[in-house]
Chains A and B, each alone.
Chain A
Amino acid sequence: MAQTRIGQDPAASPATSRGGLVKDGPSRPANTTDAPLAEPRLRRHDWIALIGSRFGLIITWALMIVAFGVLLPGVFLSGSNLGYLLSSQATVLIVAIAVTIPMAAGEFDLSSSGVVVITVVTMGYLNVIQRWPLMPTVLVALAIGLVVGCVNAFFVVRIGISSLIVTLAMTSVLIGFALGLNNLTVTGISVDLVDAARSTVGGIQLVFFYALGVVVVAWYVFQHTPIGRSLYFTGAGREVARLSGVRVDAIRAGSLIVSSLLGAVAAVLLTGVLGSADPNVGTSYALAPFAAAMLGSTSFTPGRFNILGTAVATYFLATGITGLQLLGLAGWVTQVFYGMALILGVALSTFAARRNGRTIRA
C-alpha cells in the first residue's frame, strides 16, 4: 500500500497560501516564526472554513434533499420513500462501518463484498436446500466471517503482505467458492429471519435499527475508548504507535477480523431483507462502502476516518442515487455515481489531509 505523507512541512506547499485565501483554516502552520505566539485566535473567515470543512457533507446533503424535494414534489420527501431509503441502505451502512475500522488502522479490507456473497449463498444453501434450522445457519454464516477475517489477518500481519493484495485476492476466492456452492438464486428463507429484518416500525424496517446500533457502538469505541485512539495511532504512524506501547499488530489483526465479521452480520440481515439468497448481491457492496468511508473522512474530523462521517456519507450517496433514479435515470447511474464519489472522496480527503498536515493512505 502506498503511503503518501502529505504536507508534513506546510511551508513547502505554496498552493495553500496564495493570495491570502481562507484555505489555511484553524490549523495554520505555527512553526514558521519564533515570535511569541499567543493561543491562535480564529478570524471570522476561519470559522467559516472550519464549519465548511467539518459540516460540509451534512450541508451538501441537506441542500440535496431540498433540491430533490423541489424537483420531485410529493414523491421524494414522502414517508414511504424516506422509509425505503433508510431501510434499503442499512446493510450497506453496516459494511461501510466494517471497512472503516481497518481503514482507520491503515489497512484495506476489500474482501467485504466477497464475505457478503459467500455468507448469503451459504445461508441459502443451508437454510433452504439443506433445510437447516435458522440458528445453526446463522452461526455458520458468522463463523465464515470470522474465519475469513482471521485468514486475512494472518497474511497481512504475520506474513506481512499488503492488505490491498490479500483482501482483493480473497474477494475472488470467496466469490468463486460461492458460485461453486450454488450459482442460482434461492428463495424461501426462514420466515423468522425475514420478520426479524423486515418488520417495520414507523415505516422503517428493523434492519435499519440494527445498523443504527452498529453505528452507535462503533462510534463509541472510536470516540471514547483507548482502542479507538490506538486504531487511529496505528493508522497514522504505525512505528510511533508501536514504540509508544500500542499493540499495533493486535489492532491491525483485530480490525480485519471485526471487519469480516460485520460483513457476515450484514449478509445475514440482507438475506432476511430479501427473503432469498442471490449470488449476485456483491456488486452493491464492492464500491459503495469505500466511497462512503473515504467521503466520510472529509467531515467531522477532516483527515481521519470516522464513524459518523461514514454513516452520513452512506446516506448522502444513497440520497443522490435514489433522487436521480426517481428523476428517471436508469439503474446504471448507481455504478457511475459510486465510482465518481469514490474518486471525489479520496480527492477531498487528500485535500483535507494536506490542509491539516495529516497523513492519508490510499
Chain B
Amino acid sequence: MNSTNQEPLLRAEHLTKSYGARPVLKEAYLNIVSGEIHALLGENGSGKSTLIKLLAGQIAPDGGYAADNAPRVTVSGRSEGLPIDPKTAERLKLGFVHQDLGLVLSSTVMETLGLGRYRTQWGRINWRAQRSYTEETLRRYGLGLSPDAVVGRLSAVERAMLSIIRGIESISGEEKGVLVLDEPTAYLPADAVHQLFEVLRRIKATGSSVVFVTHRLDEVKDICDRATILRSGEVVATMDVASATTDDLITAILGTELTNLYPSEHTSVTEPVLRATNLSGAETRDVSFVASRGEILGLTGLVGDGFEEIIGLCFGASRGEGKVEVKGTEVEQKWLRPRRAMSMGMAYIPADRATSSGLMAASAAENLTMATMRRYWRSGRMAYSEEHKDAIEAMRRVGLRPLAPDLPLSSFSGGNQQKLILAKWLLTRPHVLFLHEPTNGVDVGAKKTLFDLINRAAQDGCSVVIASSEYEDLAHLCHRVIVIKNGAVSGELTGDQLTTDAITHRCLASTATPATS
C-alpha cells in the first residue's frame, strides 16, 4: 500500500464469514482512500460477493469475536459494527448497486429515483418537486428518459444506468461517500460503459470513492486506481493499477501464471454446415450468413443492435422469418422449434443461465442429460445407473468440481455451471453450437476451460457460432466475426483484421456515423 499515508475514507476490517463449516471470507479487509476508484478482483467464489453483502448488511458476519477485532466498517471516522441496516448505510454515505440492480419493474422512473428520498411536504409527497428533481437528475446524467416511463419497459442498459444513478444519488451531498458497484458493466455495451466511466470519474473528482467489482481486467486498467485482490476468501494483495500489468493482475487473481488464455490453434475451414438465409426477427432484418465445419464464427455489435437475436432465431427459440439450413436440411424459420432444431443437429446455450439454460433446482446429472434423456429410456424404464455413469464421465471431461452428479446445479459456481451446460449440449453431438455470451459472470480460470472446450468442439467438426459483446474474447477465439448494425450485417472481419480494436472500432464507428434514414 504505497499511496495511503492518509487515513482511508472507508475501512472495513475483520470480515469473516462461513457457511456451515466452510469459511468463505477469512479476516478480509478493505481500505478505500478518498477520491479513488478501487477494483475488487477475484475469481468466482473468491468471496467478492460475500464481502459486498457483508458491507451492505445483507448478511451477518460470523460472531464470537472479542470486541477489538469484531467486524466493523469505518467511514469518515465514524465506526459501526457489522451488520449495519440500510438507514445506517445511508448515514455513513455508503451506496450500493447490486448485480441484480434491485429495481421494481412495475414502478416508474420517478418512483425509482425517489425511493427512500421522497420530497415531502406536511407528510404528503410533493409530486411536483419530485418531478422536477427527477427531470433534473436524468438530464444531469444524460439519460433521455421520461419520469413516467415504467422500469419494466426500459432496455437492459437503461435499467442498469437508472440503478447506478440511484446509487450515486444516495451518496451525494456535502460529505464524501463510497459507492459500491457489483459488476455494473456485465450487461452494458461499450458505449454505455464509457458513459458510466465518465460519471465515475466525476464522483472521484468530488473526493468520494467507488468500489468496483468486475471480471473485466481491461476496465480495471482503464479506470481504476488501486485494486484489492481476493483469493479463496483472503485478501492476497492491494496494488496500484498503474504500475501493474494485466498479467500481474491475472497472476494475483489466480495465484498461478495463466499461459495462453486464448488457444491459437485454428483449423482451416471449407465445408459449409449452417446456412441462414434472410433471417428477420424483432430486431433484425434479412440477415444471411454461412458457417463452416470446424469454424468458430462470432456475431457481434452493440447491445440492442440485434446480434443477440440471430442465434435464437436459428434455433427456433423465437419466432421470425427466413430460412435455416443445416447439412442440407432446410426449414422455414416460422416452422422451426427448438425440438426440430435439435433433431437437425443444433445446440443453443442462452446467456441467462438461471432462467434459460440451466435448472438450478435439478441435479447436475438431470441437467446434463436433459437434452438427451431419451437415450436412457430402454425397455420401459430409465437406465439410472448408466445415466449416472455418463454424467460423471461428462463432468470429468469438462473438469467439473465437485464431481457430484446428485448435487443441485445451484451448488456449483458460475463457471462450473456454464461448463456443465456446455457439456449437456456436447452430449447431443451437435453439428452447430450456438453460444450467447458464454463467458458472462465466469471467472478467468473457468473461461480458459470454456475456450478450450469450444475449440475442441470446433476441431471435432462442430460449427460454433458465438453471439457476444466481449470483443476481446471474440478477437482471440473466432476465425471470423460478423458485425451487426441496426439489425443488418454491416461488415465481416477475418485473419489479420480480427483484433479487439478492429471489432470495437467497427461496432462503435457504425454508430458514430449518423444513419442515413
Nearest Cβ on chain B to A44's Cβ, whole angstroms: 13
Chain A: which residue is nearest B343 at the CB level?
A245
**9 residue pairs A–B, Cβ–Cβ below 8 Å:** A8-B410, A11-B24, A12-B59, A32-B50, A40-B407, A229-B373, A236-B359, A240-B358, A245-B339
Does the CB pair B338–A245 fall under 8 Å? Answer: yes
Q: Which stretch of B15-23, B182-190, B267-275 is in the interface?
A: B15-23
A231 to chain B, nearest CB (A): 12
Stretch of A142-150, A284-292, A350-358 with 4 or more beta carbons under 8 angstroms from chain B: A350-358
Is B19's CB under 8 angstroms from A8's CB? no
Bound form: Cα–Cα A233–B315 in Å: 20
Instruction: List residues of chain B with CB within 8 A of the CB of A163.
Output: none
Cβ contact within 8 Å between A303 and B361? yes
Residues in A with CB closer than 8 Å to B358 are: 240
The answer to whether residues A28 and B20 also contact, given A225-B381, A245-B338 and a CB cut-off of 8 A, is: yes
CB pair B232 A356 closer than 8 Å: no
The answer on a CB contact under 8 Å between B20 and A24 is yes
Residues of B within 8 A of A232 (CB): 362
Contact, CB under 8 Å: B408 / A27: yes
Interface residue? B127 (CB, 8 A): no
Query: CA–CA, A358 to B24, complex, Å?
Result: 22
Q: Secondary structure of the A side of the interface?
A: loop
Q: For A358, what are the chain B residues with a Cβ–Cβ distance below 8 Å?
A: 360-361, 408
Given contacts A31-B413, A240-B356, A244-B370, contact A36 B22 (CB under 8 A): no
Whether the pair A357, B361 counts as a contact (CB closer than 8 A) is yes
B401 and A36 form a contact (CB under 8 A): yes
Q: Which residue of B lies closest to A23 (CB)?
A: B20
Q: How many A-B residue pairs have CB under 8 A?
A: 156
Contacts of A357 in B (CB 8 A): 360-361, 408, 410-411
- In the complex, are the beta carbons of B19 and A28 less than 8 A apart? yes
Cβ contacts B436-460/A at 8 Å (1 or 0 each): 0000000101000000000000000
Top 8 closest pairs, chain A to chain B, by CB: A358-B361, A357-B410, A34-B45, A37-B402, A224-B381, A30-B411, A31-B413, A32-B24
Complex Cα gap A14–B44 (Å): 20
Decide if B361 touches A353 in the complex (CB within 8 Å).
yes
- Give the complex CA separation of A233 and B371 in angstroms: 11
Say whether A24 contacts B19, CB under 8 Å. yes
Q: Which residues in B have their C-beta under 8 angstroms from that of A31?
A: 44-45, 410-414, 416
* Complex Cα–Cα for A356 and B358 (A): 15
In B307-338, which residues have CB < 8 Å from any A CB?
315, 317, 338
Please name all residues of chain A whose beta carbon is closer than 8 Å to the beta carbon of B418 when the two chains form the complex.
none
Is the CB of A54 closer than 8 A to any CB of chain B? no
Which residues does chain B contribute within 8 Å of A220, judged by CB atoms?
381
Contacts of B58 on A, CB cut-off 8 Å?
Answer: 12, 14
By the criterion CB–CB under 8 Å, are B402 and A229 in contact? no
Residues of A within 8 A of B43 (CB): 34
Q: Which of A222-239 contact B (CB under 8 A)?
A: 224-226, 229-230, 232-233, 236-237, 239
User: With A11-B50, A34-B46 in contact, is A245–B371 under 8 Å at CB?
Assistant: yes
CB of A10 within 8 A of chain B? yes
- Contact string against B for A residues 8-40, beta-carbon threshold 8 Å, 1 for contact and 0 otherwise: 111110101110100010011111111111111
- A229's partner among B22, B360, B382 (CB-CB below 8 A) is B382
> Which candidate, B140-148, B215-223, B347-355, B485-493, is the interface stretch facing chain A?
B347-355
Closest to B312 in A: A243
**Additional 5 contacts, C-beta under 8 A, given A12-B53, A357-B360:** A28-B19, A28-B411, A30-B412, A224-B380, A241-B359
Which A residues are CB-close (under 8 A) to B373? Answer: 226, 229-230
Inter-subunit contact B366/A37 (CB<8 Å): no
CA distance A263 to B416 in the complex (A): 44
Q: Verify if A242 is at the interface (C-beta below 8 Å from B).
A: yes
Complex contacts, A17 vs chain B, CB 8 Å: 18-20
Give the residue of A10, A27, A34, A244 whose beta carbon is less than 8 angstroms from that of B232: A34
- Evaluate contact between A40 and B402: CB separation under 8 angstroms: yes
Q: Which B residues lie within 8 Å of A303 (CB)?
A: 361
Q: For residue A224, which residues in chain B have a CB less than 8 angstroms away from its CB? A: 380-382
| Residue among A8, A16, A31, A32 with most chain B CB within 10 A | A32
Q: Does B233 contact A (CB under 8 A)?
A: yes
A33-B233 contact given A20-B21, A359-B361, CB 8 Å threshold: yes
Q: Is B357 an interface residue (CB 8 A)?
A: yes
Query: Is B19 within 8 A of A10, CB to CB?
Result: yes
Given contacts A10-B410, A30-B411, A34-B45, contact A359 B360 (CB under 8 A): yes
B49 sits at the interface (CB 8 A): yes
A18 to B19, CA, bound (A): 9
B377 interfacial contact with A, CB 8 Å: yes
Which chain B residues in 401-425 approach chain A with CB under 8 Å?
401-404, 407-408, 410-414, 416, 424
Report the separation of the CA atoms of residues A14 and B59 in the bound assembly, to the nearest whole angstrom: 6
Cα distance A78–B46 when bound, in Å? Answer: 62
Complex formed: what's the CA distance from A220 to B382 in Å? 10
Once A226-B373, A237-B359 are accepted as A-B contacts, the answer to whether A243 and B338 lie under 8 Å apart by CB is yes
Which chain A residues border B87 with CB–CB below 8 Å? none
Set of chain A residues within 8 Å of B339, measured between Cβ atoms: 245, 247
Our pick among B23, B338, B403, B424 for the contact of A242 (Cβ within 8 Å) is B338
Q: From A18, A33, A225, give the contact of B22 (CB < 8 A).
A: A33
Q: Given the complex of chains A and B, what is the CA–CA distance between A242 and B359 in angstroms?
A: 12
Which among A14, A32, A226, A240 is the interface contact of B374 at CB below 8 angstroms? Answer: A226
Nearest neighbor of B44 in chain A, beta-carbon distance:
A34
Q: Shortest distance in angstroms between B44's beta carbon and chain A's nearest beta carbon?
A: 7
- In the bound complex, do residue A243 and residue B317 qualify as a contact, i.e. CB atoms below 8 Å apart? yes
Residues in A with CB closer than 8 Å to B362 are 232-233, 236-237
Q: Which residues of B contact A35 (CB under 8 A)?
A: 232
Q: Which of A244-260 contact B (CB under 8 A)?
A: 244-247
- Within the assembled complex, what's the spacing in Å between the Cα atoms of A346 and B403? 33
Write out the residue numbers on chain A whose beta carbons fall within 8 Å of the beta carbon of B374: 226
Q: Are A32 and B377 in contact (CB under 8 A)?
A: no
| Interface residue? B60 (CB, 8 A) | yes
B229 contact set on A, CB distance < 8 A: none
Q: Could you tell me if B402 and A30 are in contact, using CB atoms closer than 8 angstroms?
A: yes
A191-219 vs B, CB cutoff 8 Å, 1 = contact: the mask equals 00000000000000000000000000000
B342 adjacent to chain A (CB < 8 Å): yes
Q: Which chain B residues (367-417) contact chain A, with CB distance < 8 Å?
A: 370-371, 373-374, 377, 380-382, 401-404, 407-408, 410-414, 416
* With known contacts A8-B354, A233-B362, A358-B361, A30–B407 Cβ distance under 8 A: yes
Q: Which residues of A contact B443 (CB under 8 A)?
A: 34
In the complex, A8 Cα to B352 Cα: how many Å?
14
Q: Mark B80-114, 1 if CB is under 8 A from A, else 0.
A: 00000000000000000000000000000000000
CA distance A242 to B319 in the complex (A): 14
The one of A11, A20, A233, A353 that contacts B53, using a Cβ cutoff of 8 Å: A11
